[in-house]
Structure 1
Amino acid sequence: MKKMLVLATSALMLVACSEKPGYEITGTVNNPALEGKCVYMYPYGDAEAAPIDSAVVTNGSFAFKGTQDSAVLRTLKFSEEVVPRSYGPAGESGIFTATFVLSNAKLQATLDSLSDVTGTPDNDAVAAFRKEIRSMRAEQETLVAALKSEDEAAKREAEQKYDAIDRAVVDKAEAFIGENINNALSGVVFYSFRYELPEDAQNQLVAKAGDVFKSVPGISQIMERLENLKTVAVGKKFTDFPMKDVNGKDRKLSDYVGKGKVVLIDFWASWCPPCRREMPNLVEVYKQYKAKGFEIVGVSLDSKQEAWEKGINDLNITWPQLSDLQGWKNSGAALYYVNSIPHTILVDKDGTIVAKNLHGEDIEAKVAELLK
Structure 2
Amino acid sequence: MKKMLVLATSAMMLVACSEKPGYEITGTVNNPALEGKSVYLYPYGDAEAAPLDSAVVTNGTFVLKGTQDSSALRMLKFSEEVVPRSYAPAGENGVFTATFVLSNAKLQATLDSLSDVTGTPDNDAVAAFRKEIRSMRAEQEALVSVLKSEDEAAKREAEQKYDAIDRAVADKAAAFMDGNMENALTGVIFYTFRYDLSEEKQNQLVAKASDTFKSVPGIPQIMERLENLKKVAVGKKFTDFPMKDVNGKDRKLSDYVGNGKVVLIDFWASWCPPCRREMPNLVEVYKQYKAKGFEIVGVSLDSKQDAWEKGIKDLNITWPQLSDLQGWKNSGAALYYVNSIPHTILVDKDGTIVAKNLHGEEIAAKVAELLK
8 Å CA contact retained: 1:232, 1:239: yes
Q: Which amino acid aligns with 1:251?
A: R
Provide, for residues 145-186 of structure 1, a one-character-per-residue CA deviation record: whole Å limited to 9, x for no partner: 111111111011100100000000000000000010110000
Report the equivalent of 2:51: 51
What is the distance in 2 between the residues matched to 1:159 and 1:69? Answer: 49
Report the equivalent of 1:144: 144
Determine if the alignment matches structure 1 residue 87 to structure 2 residue 115: no
Give the superposition deviation at 1:87: 2.2
Report the equivalent of 1:68: 68
Where structure 1 has 5 or more consecutive residues not aligned to the other structure, the ranges are: none
8 Å CA contact retained: 2:269, 2:302: yes
What is the distance in 2 between the residues matched to 1:26 and 1:328? Answer: 43
Report the equivalent of 2:301: 301
Where structure 2 has 5 or more consecutive residues not aligned to the other structure, the ranges are: none
RMSD: 0.6
Q: Which amino acid aligns with 2:194?
A: R
Report the equivalent of 1:174: 174
Report the equivalent of 1:244: 244
What is the distance in 2 between the residues matched to 1:54 and 1:127? Answer: 23
What is the distance in 2 between the residues matched to 1:221 and 1:303? Answer: 26
What is the distance in 2 between the residues matched to 1:185 and 1:134? Answer: 17
Determine if the alignment matches structure 1 residue 219 to structure 2 residue 222: no
The 10-residue stretch of structure 1 (81-90 or 16-25) with the greater mean CA deviation from structure 2: 81-90
Report the equivalent of 1:198: 198
Q: Which amino acid aligns with 1:341?
A: I
Superposition TM-score, scaled by structure 2 size = 0.99
What is the distance in 2 between the residues matched to 1:85 and 1:199? Answer: 29
Determine if the alignment matches structure 1 residue 29 to structure 2 residue 44: no
What is the distance in 1 between the residues matched to 2:202 and 2:194? Answer: 8
Determine if the alignment matches structure 1 residue 232 to structure 2 residue 232: yes
Report the equivalent of 2:272: 272
Q: Structure 1 runs of 4+ off > 3 angstroms?
A: none
What is the distance in 1 between the residues matched to 2:189 and 2:99? Answer: 10
Provide, for residues 314-349 of structure 1, a one-character-per-residue CA deviation record: whole Å limited to 9, x for no partner: 110000001111111111111100011110000001
What is the distance in 2 between the residues matched to 1:330 and 1:135? Answer: 38
Give the superposition deviation at 1:271: 1.0
Report the equivalent of 1:356: 356
Provide, for residues 191-218 of structure 1, a one-character-per-residue CA deviation record: whole Å limited to 9, x for no partner: 0101111000000000011101111111
Give the superposition deviation at 1:304: 1.0
Superposition TM-score, scaled by structure 1 size = 0.99
What percent of counterpart residues are identical? 90
Report the equivalent of 1:20: 20
Report the equivalent of 2:208: 208
Report the equivalent of 1:103: 103
8 Å CA contact retained: 2:23, 2:105: yes
Determine if the alignment matches structure 1 residue 316 to structure 2 residue 316: yes
Q: Which amino acid aligns with 2:343?
A: H
What is the distance in 2 between the residues matched to 1:17 and 1:105? Answer: 17
Report the equivalent of 1:132: 132
8 Å CA contact retained: 1:87, 1:93: no
Give the superposition deviation at 1:93: 2.1
What is the distance in 2 between the residues matched to 1:129 and 1:306? Answer: 44
Q: Which amino acid aligns with 1:61?
A: T
What is the distance in 2 between the residues matched to 1:91 and 1:250? Answer: 43
8 Å CA contact retained: 2:93, 2:116: no
Determine if the alignment matches structure 1 residue 40 to structure 2 residue 40: yes
Aligned pair count? 372
